């Protein structure tokens, strides 16, 4: 009987230690409030976030969202520079508290981070020269054709899965404008990224003479989300409630129209 009592007591103690350890990890909200600042990582993507070349400051819909999230928490905001390849490593190394860029919710990423409820929905698409004879994804997916993507993104992963014959060329850059320049200078035949970015690249850079490859079936429709460190479920819950409220109040739509002029 004494052995049973001792075993039960030890089990109870271990459960308490486990519960305390779990709670100790789930303290990001308190850390942010105590520090008085929310650190949000960004990577360039139109219209969500881009560095203004005149001021060197971040602008875009997710920049507005980050400012609003910090204001909601009663703290200051710090916008942290990252690239698409360093967003998750920056979060994992505690360089930021949250990734506020439109991350597609891939299984590979979900093994490393917690995803918020989708902050929006997007497809991927292809742009090429206006003068290109290519009129379909099938015509593009041929040996001898090259499609540029930004290295380390979900675009790279999807392109490698979708295009079986064409060559996928990953570009190591944090400048989304590099994609348009590559195809305009005929170093690649096409570029692939999210559809919103493609439309803005074409609209804002008429000198590049690009067009979006239109097909009836959109490529890879899915939600995109913000990312939070593993174990931070209180912070995740807070962000999810905040995302829902953004939708309800119409702020998301307001910011989108502001930066796309739609």
Q: What CATH number does residue 172 fall under?
A: 3.40.190.10
Contact 58, 51 (CB under 8 A): yes
Domain check: are 117 and 21 in the same one? Answer: yes
Average pLDDT, the chain: 89
Contact 146, 163 (CB under 8 A): no
Domain check: are 161 and 208 in the same one? Answer: yes
Q: Which residues contact 44 (CB under 8 A, 6 or more apart)?
A: 50, 51, 83, 174, 175, 176
Q: 63-77, 159-173, 202-216: lowest mean pLDDT where?
A: 202-216
Contact 208, 184 (CB under 8 A): yes
CA-CA distances (angstroms) from residue 199 to 82, 204, 210, 248? 23, 9, 10, 26
Check pLDDT > 70 for residue 3.
no
Contact 52, 11 (CB under 8 A): no
Domain check: are 211 and 227 in the same one? Answer: no
pLDDT for residue 215: 78
pLDDT tens, position by position, 62-88: 999 999 999 999 999 999 999 988 999
Domain check: are 62 and 167 in the same one? Answer: no
Domain check: are 144 and 215 in the same one? Answer: yes
Q: What percent of the chain has pLDDT above 70?
A: 90
Check pLDDT > 90 for residue 11.
no
Total-model pTM: 0.76
CA-CA distances (angstroms) from residue 1 to 7, 13, 85? 10, 18, 58
Closest CA to 238 of 247, 248, 230, 228: 228
Give φ, ψ of 119 to 5 degrees: -90, -5
Domain check: are 71 and 173 in the same one? Answer: no
pLDDT band at 214 (very low <50, low <70, confident <90, very high): confident
pLDDT tens, position by position, 91-120: 999 999 999 999 999 888 999 999 999 999
Domain check: are 57 and 24 in the same one? Answer: yes
pLDDT band at 167 (very low <50, low <70, confident <90, very high): very high
Domain check: are 7 and 109 in the same one? Answer: yes
Domain that holds residue 245: 2-121+222-260
User: Residue range 226-249: average pLDDT?
Assistant: 96
Which one has a higher pLDDT value, 203 or 163? 163
Domain check: are 175 and 212 in the same one? Answer: yes
Closest CA to 55 of 74, 36, 71, 79: 79
**Interstrand relation of 58-59 and 50-51 (parallel, antiparallel or unpaired):** antiparallel
H or E segment to which residue 15 belongs: helix 2-25
Percent of residues in the chain assigned helix, strand, coil, to nearest 5:
45, 25, 30
pLDDT for residue 16: 40
Give φ, ψ of 65 to 5 degrees: -65, -40
| Cα 240-242-248 angle, rounded to 5 deg | 110
Domain check: are 16 and 102 in the same one? Answer: yes
Domain check: are 164 and 95 in the same one? Answer: no
Name the domain count of the chain.
Answer: 2
Domain check: are 40 and 136 in the same one? Answer: no
């Amino acid at each position: 009987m004494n052995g049973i009592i001792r075993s039960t007591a030890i089990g109870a103690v271990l459960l308490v230690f486990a519960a305390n350890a779990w709670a100790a990890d789930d303290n990001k909200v308190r850390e942010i409030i105590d520090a008085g600042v929310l650190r949000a990582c960004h990577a360039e993507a139109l219209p969500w976030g881009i560095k203004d070349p005149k001021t060197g400051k971040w602008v875009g819909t997710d920049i507005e969202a980050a400012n609003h999230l910090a204001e909601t928490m009663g703290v200051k905001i710090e916008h942290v520079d990252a690239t698409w390849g360093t967003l998750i490593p920056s979060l994992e190394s505690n360089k930021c508290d949250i990734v506020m860029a439109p991350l597609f919710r891939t299984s590979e990423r979900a093994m490393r981070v917690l995803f918020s409820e989708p902050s929006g929905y997007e497809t991927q698409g292809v742009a090429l020269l206006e003068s290109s004879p290519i009129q379909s994804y099938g015509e593009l997916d041929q040996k001898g054709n090259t499609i540029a993507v930004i290295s380390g993104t979900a675009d790279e992963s999807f392109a490698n899965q979708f295009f079986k014959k064409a060559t996928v060329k990953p570009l190591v850059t944090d400048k989304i404008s590099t994609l348009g320049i590559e195809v305009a200078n005929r170093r690649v035949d096409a570029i692939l990224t999210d559809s919103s970015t493609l439309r803005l690249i074409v609209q804002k850079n008429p000198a590049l003479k690009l067009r979006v490859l239109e097909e009836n079936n959109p490529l890879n429709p899915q939600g995109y989300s913000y990312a939070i460190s593993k174990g931070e479920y209180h912070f995740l819950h807070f962000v999810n409630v905040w995302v829902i409220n953004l939708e309800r109040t119409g702020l998301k739509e307001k910011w989108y129209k502001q930066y796309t002029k739609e």
